[in-house]
Structure 1
Amino acid sequence: MTRTKTTQRGGTDPVSAVVVDDSQFMRTVICDMLEDAGIDVLGTASNGADGVETVVETGPDVVTMDLKMPGVDGIEAVDQIMTERPTPVLVLSAHAADGAELTFEAMEKGAVDFFEKPSGEVSVGLKQQQESLVSAVRSVANADISATEAAAERARQSTTGGPSSGSTPPMTEYPDRPTLLVGSSTGGPTVVEGILETLPIEADFRVLVVQHMPDGFTERFAARLDDASEYSVREATDGDRIGGGEALVARGGSHLEVSGYGGGRLRVSLTEAEPVNNVRPAVDVTFRTAADRIDDPLSAAVLTGMGSDGAAGVEAVNAAGGAVIAQDEETSAVFGMPQRAIETGVVDEVRPREELVAGILNATTKQQ
């Protein structure tokens, strides 16, 4: 079917949902939580096939999707929904290594974001996280799925010999000892992966990635980035150091601070200080500490995501003489973070996702 750009909803608009989970108990708990918060549950399904049918029949604003189900699983259901009735999908993912991997596969198919299922006593865990779940559902309902659909289409083409997701213009000279800071949230994982996949290793960046994501998922996210990129990527540990051609991903649940810089090598520390902008890790924390410490070429990219995290950070980067790049509205699943960054007036380049690396290289080179 023809894919069209959706109109993003206001944060207070009524929201309708379909809940897909093979556990009747979980369906009941999730429905009760959403309905208690004023979200209209239009239907439920116990497997992926019925979930797709229910979405097509009812036309909800958002779908909560379990992944491990009999028959048609959540990943295939997401793929079918994006083909038959494109709808924002929030994956409900188990906190486990295979759960993390399945979550990222679902996001490649077009899911917007994920919410971690609690471990232990399910009903107690979910009740404690009701506010967070409802917030995630509303955030995903507000997403522009044309951005995630495009990501899913590129993933399909990459497995069938179709066109690539973008190219980087050739360059003969790169700045000495550059650092790239990347901050993203809702809809960000596939965009970050695209950046690391196309960032030329010859540029020899030191890369720090802050993706709003819970502990237990960032390690697997870093491993996926490492597989996709020529850069050596790993989840950050306290006291970690990196040089050119290396990247660190902020660990879920910890702020990532740049604690030292010398001879082209970065040292970082992890802290469990209070959340900033209601999140931990926070983009602002990493951007500000990097701006304080790094005196070589510095660039910061703010990608798709809800909220204002990163806005204060890019002002610090700009004040330190660094360059700032923001993802454009057209290709952002949620334009909150890039928009807040742009509103500061310090953004040097606004680019679509397929041109972000070109923008990063262009802005960084100007610092020579």
Structure 2
Amino acid sequence: MSSTAGAGPTRAVVVDDSRFMRTLIRTLLEDADVEVVAEAADGREAISVVEENRPDVVTMDIEMPEMNGLDAVEAIMEECPTPVLMLSAHAEEDADVTFEALDRGAVDFVTKPGGEVTSEMPRVKRELVEKIQSAAAVDLSATRRGSRPPKAESKSPATAGSTSAASETTESLPTEGSTLIIGASTGGPNVVERVLAALPAEAGLRVLVVQHMPAGFTKRFAARLDGRCDYEVREAEDGERIGPGQIRIAPGGSHLLVTGDRAGRLRLELSDDEALHGVKPAIDLTMASAAEAVDAPLAGVLLTGMGRDGVEGMTRIERAGGHTVAQDEATSAIFGMPKRAIEAGCVDTVAADGRIADEALSGLTT
């Protein structure tokens, strides 16, 4: 785990080819008692600076001369493993590059301050500092113990689900229309991907995913997942209904609620209410609404992340007679949300990331 636990202020290295951006990020972090121990102007310099200073966390730009952020992340993970927080532009087309950085070992990302940040500065500072502290707490050894994300490939035919790990170990499949709610935060995207890829198409689940992620990225996240599992995956839309074999991703900047369950289809609603636990979308709200509205068998899964979002939601699912699964400490990048849910006594099963799909399916068949 990071050396920050009980060891003084978080120590950071800032990597960006823009002197202005490095100065801005340094100022924001130092105002929040994060010690910036060094800076680097490109990826190649970043590798040597990280090796020399051994920081708790690195903020990494993506587009830089000499060596870009993607290659720098990969090299740092090989030579001097350190939690890396990517700084991504707001543009939607940059989302794919950001997800590639996560594949290469980055633990999270934050949207980069733009040119007109004056009025947004308090929000930008809060988000950056929270992400820095969260990234610094990541257990890199746990992320290595988890399975690697599957390679991108064309979506297989529906029958391909029968060969998935989940269907090989599950004697019977859930009743069609069973519902699965998945919540995740820091370290979650790759785990969510593995869980969804392991769900057999013939299980016919209705799946909602709440991944803490800013607006502009969840749509690309959904498209990425759509190509890597046997279900139809899209970003959720207000008022739509989803049925068996469909997965919807909560949009960044909106809460996702389940408001009805009729004829095997869930009715979804997007809410612009205030953030809960400092996040929007909030796992708690999606899970709690599903516990109240869903008529069919229901399961909740809580994955890696800092904080307590999802604890109340898992409690509500458990009280409604649903099955609850939490990711174990050994494979959680941050054993925060799952740990709090376990301590609250609302978790039926604790499982490594590679077993979560099996455990959820098993709970929906009993």
Shift of 1:128: 4.5
Shift of 1:96: 1.2
1:39 maps to a residue whose letter is V
Q: Deviations over 1:248-301 (max 9, x none)?
A: 000111000001101211110001011111211100100000000112110000
Question: In the alignment, what sits opposite 1:134?
Answer: 129
Question: In the alignment, what sits opposite 1:302?
Answer: 302
2-structure distance, mates of 1:124, 1:35: 20
Question: In the alignment, what sits opposite 2:159?
Answer: none
TM-score normalised according to structure 1 size:
0.92
2:178 maps to a residue whose letter is P
Question: In the alignment, what sits opposite 1:212?
Answer: 212
The answer to whether the aligner puts 1:76 opposite 2:74 as a matched pair is: no
The answer to whether the aligner puts 1:26 opposite 2:25 as a matched pair is: no
Number of corresponding residues = 353
Question: In the alignment, what sits opposite 2:83?
Answer: 88
User: What pairs with 1:110-259 in structure 2 (closer than 5 Å)?
Assistant: 110-122=105-117, 125-126=120-121, 128-150=123-145, 154-155=148-149, 167-168=165-166, 169-176=168-175, 177-259=177-259
2-structure distance, mates of 1:126, 1:48: 27
Question: In the alignment, what sits opposite 1:100?
Answer: 95
2-structure distance, mates of 1:128, 1:246: 34
1-structure distance, mates of 2:234, 2:89: 22
Change (3 A) 1:150 1:78: farther
Change (3 A) 1:242 1:11: farther
Do the aligned residues in 2 keep the contact of 1:82 with 1:149 (CA within 8 Å)?
Answer: no
Question: In the alignment, what sits opposite 2:288?
Answer: 288
Do the aligned residues in 2 keep the contact of 1:11 with 1:142 (CA within 8 Å)?
Answer: no
Match of 2:35 among 28, 36, 40: 40
Shift of 1:13: 3.8
Change (3 A) 1:124 1:275: closer
1:354 maps to a residue whose letter is G
1-structure distance, mates of 2:6, 2:18: 30
Shift of 1:97: 2.2
2:11 maps to a residue whose letter is S
- RMSD, aligned CA: 1.8
TM-score normalised according to structure 2 size:
0.92
The SS at the match of 2:148 is helix
The SS at the match of 2:330 is coil
Q: Which ranges in structure 2 are unaligned for 5 or more consecutive residues? A: 153-163
Shift of 1:32: 1.4
Question: In the alignment, what sits opposite 1:3?
Answer: none
The SS at the match of 1:325 is strand
User: What pairs with 1:326-365 in structure 2 (closer than 5 Å)?
Assistant: 326-365=326-365
2:84 maps to a residue whose letter is V
1:270 maps to a residue whose letter is L
2-structure distance, mates of 1:144, 1:115: 19
1-structure distance, mates of 2:6, 2:108: 17
Change (3 A) 1:23 1:123: farther
